[in-house]
Chains A and B, each alone.
Chain A
Amino acid sequence: MSIAMHEISLSVNGETVRERVEARKTLVDFLREDLGLTGSHIGCEHGVCGACTVRIDGTIMRGCLVLAVQCNGARVETIEGASDSGEIADLQEAFQRRNALQCGYCTPGMLLTAQELLKSGGMKDRETIREHMSGNYCRCTGYQAIVDVVEAVAQARGGKK
């Protein structure tokens, strides 16, 4: 059995990447195994837990439900990219201060999901935040600290877009 390889070209955190991948390889496996971007985590591999959340063409997606070959030509951003650009520095700092992470395994996905909500602008009430964050599981914190942080950062960013 020999598995056909497919050449893909995409932008990952602003860098152009050309690789040959198996058709069956998920995006998150590609990021972790082929590119060494281990900040995107694998929690369930069936699209439930949100640990593998990444941005594809600006929208958050589950890295375990997208194949790498489907991302040919796409713009992919991971937690490493969002960290290095400084885009979510305030959110990361607030997570640390409020201890909104314990084991930290869900955190990269949480941050990207929170950032999506925050980018939509305006103040956020706790119910909206809880609803938006519900696709990302956390087994450690009980969520309250995460909600506190998102609420505080929304306020700190002045409710501006």
Chain B
Amino acid sequence: MKIVADLPSGLTALDRPNSYIGRSVPRPNLARLTQGRGQYVSDLTLPRIAHVAFARSPHAHARFKKIDVKAAKASPGVIAVVTGTELAKVITPWVGVLTHLKGIKSAPQHAIAIDRACWQGEAVCAVVAKTRAEAEDAIELLEIEYEELPAVVNPETALDAKTPIIHPELGDNLTFERKHEAGEVDKAFKDSDEIVETTFVFGRHTGVCLEARAIVADWNVGEERMTVYQGTQAPHMMQNLFAKHLGLAEHQVRVITKDVGGSFGIKVHTYADEMAVVALSKLLKRPVKFVADRLESFVTDIHARDHRVKAKIGVKRDGTITAFEIDDLTGIGPYSVYPRTSGIEANQVVNLTGGPYKCPNYRALARVVFQNKNVMCQYRAVGHPIATAVTEGLVDLAAMKIGMDPVEIRRKNLIPDDGYPCAAPSGIKFEKLSHHASLDKLVKMMGYEKLRAEQEELRKENIYRGLGFASFIEVTNPSAAFYGVGGAKISAQDGATVRLDAQGAVIVQSGVTEQGQGAEAVLAQVVASAFGVPLERVRVITGDTDNTPYGGGTWASRAAGIGGEAAWQAGKALRQNVLAVAASILQADPKVLDIRNGLVVDTDGGRERISLEEVARIAYFRPDTLPPGFQAELMATRHYVPRAWPFAFTNGIQSSYLEVDIDTGFVKLLRHWCVEDCGTVINPQLVDEQIRGGIVQGLGGALYEHCIYDDRGQLLNGNMADYLVPMASEMPDMDIGHVVSPTADSELGAKGAGEAGTAGAPAAVMNAINDALRPLKAKLLTEMPFTPERILKALGRV
């Protein structure tokens, strides 16, 4: 740890009386949540509030000629019935492209569809009523004449000449394509002793936030201000977009985010129906509330994954990996999602595949095509589960081909821990990773040899257990390289304002947001440590564009690493400011003073000199007693953005131990291990729980979660009974370990940890299932989710 820099005490940050860095303190905001006293947007009501429900297209692709609204308008409680054409007078459409994704294209998307619906679930008309139930009653009375159009539902044929083009003005159904080549790929394959090829398929799935998307928009025509209460991960981004498309200045829009019932990347995008809500509020001059119900969540919350990757690896007899090659095809929705685009996941697959390994030869093709299905965009661990499963699946296949242990082949090929800084053949740059230390720690934690022996022993009793590994890298702490350079107004920097109140407590305002990860706890820990007060004297405010510094919010595992560093710097700055006041009062040199445990003390010896409350009292109420010309500044703001590296890559490795019931095809997860390196660990418990939660989301995608579409573009299992998510009884206990390689880009040295679990878990499970079934000569399983049916098919039993 290097967070000692300019601390005057001579103590390291860890030794200071109020260092909370590295301590598992509980989050400050949990009591109210356990008492049912949270404030989620779903809970909110306002005077004159109206509720909106949307008529949604039952067809994947259809022209609608006429909407007869007469009966709906006359329905009890109805305030307004609004079509796309009418709403377009209030809000402009948008196009989800970024200039740094060369060639990406999309069509203008409206808040409510005009004339044509492009996926099952797209809103075609809004009904605003006094209650949601009355709005839904009126929806039933709308008469909408649809003319069904052919739907594009198969990515493999989306680019064929005979496939209809969803947006004819774009010329074809290709959203985005990226080709990349590094090293000497053909030569490397030629020089390989073995080449293994296979195809990996990743099912479409979605986030299923337990609180669905929720928004209340309140246009106050008297002050010409739009206040939006929204469960979002990026309040400032939404402020910018609402303003832009409503024709307002940014300062006319305030976005407030209180408690958010789950996000996982689902709530960081622009949703047409949410844009419609702000427009309806402006149109009707009253607050309008929308909470998606579960059925509409399934057809409107972004979906993710849905990639088909043809992949190839070359290997030498001694285990040296010679080359990776991938051909990735992904079918998104009819629009690239605004403003982050639906090209990022495929782009990440190209960036990340092969990333943990020192192999220099790499060829990749990624194509993103439009579909008449729900929109796809970035969900937790964007692209990582795909790239990791492809890479780690190939590595295991290569190992099997040459008869090498999966741990050994990784040892042989992972980038050496002393090999940094370096770059991957895809062009991504690594500051400092620890693949080997992580692997060594994992193998020890899990008792690898013993488990192998147990596996061998149980096979004699026809019990089939498997062990699977997945080394991975994770993108965290993104600089402007992620979105800003492509023209999106998404802040890469974040800020923190820290203020001493009149009783010596500290108030922190931060641009990052809290959706349960523990960002507020981390900010409090960092400020308490930097400034020198007990944690109970720190209060954190987030999620309000009127009252926080401009910032990006919480996504891409950036809150602790970027928001935390800004708070650290602000805490230090406030300490200097307060010591200047104290020195002035005490007629001492500020250099010989420190703040510890909420008191100003002598740096040497720690003798109490003056309390923070007394400093605040004098500065606020008796400034007349301070020397002439001296102005106390008991508030400090600092900002931070990573500059030395475009991203702070983290790394880790996971292992899954499971048992396959070869009669039923059911997979029982027995245990899961993860060792990861997110740099400085600010709160070990929070990091571990982020990883556990992330693992389980990855396990969901690997085993259960799948948005199943038929050939007419109808989602067949869009409800919680048919779309399976992990339950307590199916999930294993997970052991988490850490290696610590801080980033030198910040003083804290913290990298992100929110997506590591999701990145590696599917790959580990896939490899474990194939490991379990190997003695049975089962066909290789590479299509997620690994349902009992697929497993029995691989075993030739059905």
A residues at B contact (CB < 8 Å): 1-3, 22, 24-25, 32, 37-46, 48-49, 51, 78-80, 83, 92, 95-99, 101-108, 111, 126-127, 129-131, 133-147
Q: Nearest-CB distance from B687 to chain A (Å)?
A: 10
A43 to B42, CA, bound (A): 10
Contact assessment for B728 and A147 in the assembled complex, using a CB-CB cutoff below 8 Å:
yes
Top 7 closest pairs, chain A to chain B, by CB: A39-B36, A104-B33, A105-B261, A102-B516, A103-B516, A142-B696, A79-B36
Among A79, A134, A142, the one with the most B-chain Cβ atoms within 10 Å of its Cβ is: A142
Contact assessment for A41 and B210 in the assembled complex, using a CB-CB cutoff below 8 Å:
yes
A51 to B294, CA, bound (A): 12
A104 to B291, CA, bound (A): 18
A32 CB contact (under 8 Å) in B43, B692, B693:
B43
Q: Is chain B's binding surface mostly helix, strand, loop or mixed? A: loop
Tell me which residues across on chain B come within 8 A of A141, comparing CB atoms: 689, 692-693, 696
CB proximity to A under 8 Å, residues B676-691: 685-686, 689
A2 to B208, CA, bound (A): 35
- Given A48-B720, A105-B261, A144-B734, residue A130 in contact with residue B729 (CB < 8 A): yes
Q: Could you list 7 further interchain pairs (A-B, Cβ under 8 angstroms) beyond the known A96-B27, A130-B729, A142-B694?
A: A39-B36, A96-B31, A104-B259, A106-B210, A138-B728, A140-B693, A141-B692
Q: Nearest-CB distance from B693 to chain A (Å)?
A: 5
Tell me which residues across on chain A come within 8 A of B515, comparing CB atoms: 102-103
CB proximity to A under 8 Å, residues B26-53: 26-27, 30-31, 33-38, 40, 42-43
Contact assessment for A83 and B210 in the assembled complex, using a CB-CB cutoff below 8 Å:
no
Q: Nearest-CB distance from B265 to chain A (Å)?
A: 12
- Given A80-B36, A96-B34, A102-B518, residue A137 in contact with residue B75 (CB < 8 A): no
0 or 1 for each of B310-345: is its CB under 8 Å from A? (1 = yes): 000000000000000000000000000000000000
Contact assessment for B294 and A80 in the assembled complex, using a CB-CB cutoff below 8 Å:
no
Q: Nearest-CB distance from B240 to chain A (Å)?
A: 25
Contact assessment for B728 and A143 in the assembled complex, using a CB-CB cutoff below 8 Å:
yes
Residue of B nearest to A91 (CB): B34
Contact assessment for B697 and A139 in the assembled complex, using a CB-CB cutoff below 8 Å:
yes
Residue of A nearest to B29 (CB): A104
Q: Nearest-CB distance from B623 to chain A (Å)?
A: 40
Residue of B nearest to A127 (CB): B729
Tell me which residues across on chain B come within 8 A of A40, comparing CB atoms: 36
Q: Nearest-CB distance from B129 to chain A (Å)?
A: 13
Among A22, A37, A38, A78, the one with the most B-chain Cβ atoms within 10 Å of its Cβ is: A38
Contact assessment for B689 and A44 in the assembled complex, using a CB-CB cutoff below 8 Å:
no
Say whether B209 faces chain A, with CB atoms less than 8 Å apart.
Answer: yes
Tell me which residues across on chain B come within 8 A of A96, comparing CB atoms: 26-27, 30-31, 34
- Given A24-B133, A41-B40, residue A107 in contact with residue B34 (CB < 8 A): yes
Say whether B207 faces chain A, with CB atoms less than 8 Å apart.
Answer: yes
Q: Tally the A-B contacts, defined by beta carbons under 8 Å.
A: 181
- Given A78-B36, A139-B207, residue A45 in contact with residue B294 (CB < 8 A): yes
Q: Nearest-CB distance from A101 to chain B (Å)?
A: 6
Say whether B90 faces chain A, with CB atoms less than 8 Å apart.
Answer: no
A56 to B518, CA, bound (A): 33
- Given A101-B516, A105-B211, residue A140 in contact with residue B294 (CB < 8 A): no
A22 to B133, CA, bound (A): 11
- Given A24-B133, A104-B38, A144-B734, residue A46 in contact with residue B720 (CB < 8 A): yes
Among A126, A139, A143, the one with the most B-chain Cβ atoms within 10 Å of its Cβ is: A139
26 contacts between A and B (CB under 8 A): A3-B76, A25-B133, A37-B36, A41-B40, A42-B291, A43-B212, A45-B293, A48-B720, A49-B210, A80-B35, A80-B36, A92-B31, A97-B26, A103-B259, A103-B261, A105-B259, A106-B210, A108-B34, A130-B731, A136-B728, A139-B697, A139-B725, A142-B734, A142-B757, A143-B696, A147-B733
Residue of A nearest to B521 (CB): A99
A140 to B207, CA, bound (A): 10
Say whether B347 faces chain A, with CB atoms less than 8 Å apart.
Answer: no
Contact assessment for B731 and A143 in the assembled complex, using a CB-CB cutoff below 8 Å:
yes
Q: Nearest-CB distance from A80 to chain B (Å)?
A: 5
Tell me which residues across on chain B come within 8 A of A138, comparing CB atoms: 210, 728
Contact assessment for B34 and A101 in the assembled complex, using a CB-CB cutoff below 8 Å:
yes
Tell me which residues across on chain A come within 8 A of B43, comparing CB atoms: 32, 38
Tell me which residues across on chain B come within 8 A of A146, comparing CB atoms: 728
A38 to B309, CA, bound (A): 45
A79 to B693, CA, bound (A): 24
Say whether B161 faces chain A, with CB atoms less than 8 Å apart.
Answer: no
- Given A46-B719, A46-B720, A141-B689, residue A108 in contact with residue B36 (CB < 8 A): yes
Among B31, B33, B212, B515, the one with the most A-chain Cβ atoms within 10 Å of its Cβ is: B33
Contact assessment for B211 and A41 in the assembled complex, using a CB-CB cutoff below 8 Å:
yes
Contact assessment for B259 and A43 in the assembled complex, using a CB-CB cutoff below 8 Å:
no
Say whether B745 faces chain A, with CB atoms less than 8 Å apart.
Answer: no
Contact assessment for B210 and A43 in the assembled complex, using a CB-CB cutoff below 8 Å:
yes
A107 to B36, CA, bound (A): 8
A38 to B293, CA, bound (A): 16
Residue of A nearest to B40 (CB): A105
Contact assessment for B75 and A105 in the assembled complex, using a CB-CB cutoff below 8 Å:
no
Contact assessment for B261 and A134 in the assembled complex, using a CB-CB cutoff below 8 Å:
no
Residue of A nearest to B683 (CB): A99
